[in-house]
Amino acid sequence: MDALYKFAKRNGVDMNAFFKYLSEYAWEHGEVTYDEVKSLLIEFASKRGIDLVKIAKKEV
């Protein structure tokens, strides 16, 4: 999770806003898996104009 957090933050995602979003999501849906967090982060960033998947593919 730490690497995912650092990658997203380095690429412009407001992680404080994301964790607030994640907290609200978890409150509504209960337990959240790593894969769900990853998908939510990608979706959250995408809604803000940051394509983390595209950025990750360029870095590989």
Model confidence at 60, pLDDT cuts 50, 70, 90, reads: confident
Q: What confidence score (pLDDT) does residue 3 get?
A: 86
CA angle 44, 47, 21 (to 5 degrees): 30
Instruction: Write out pLDDT tens, residues 11-49.
Output: 999 999 999 999 999 999 999 999 999 999 999 999 999
Using the predicted structure, report yes or no on whether residue 1 has a pLDDT greater than 80: no
pLDDT, residue 8, reads: 94
Block residue for tokens 């990658």: 7
> Which pLDDT value is given to residue 37?
94
Within 10 angstroms of residue 38's Cβ, the number of other Cβ atoms is: 14
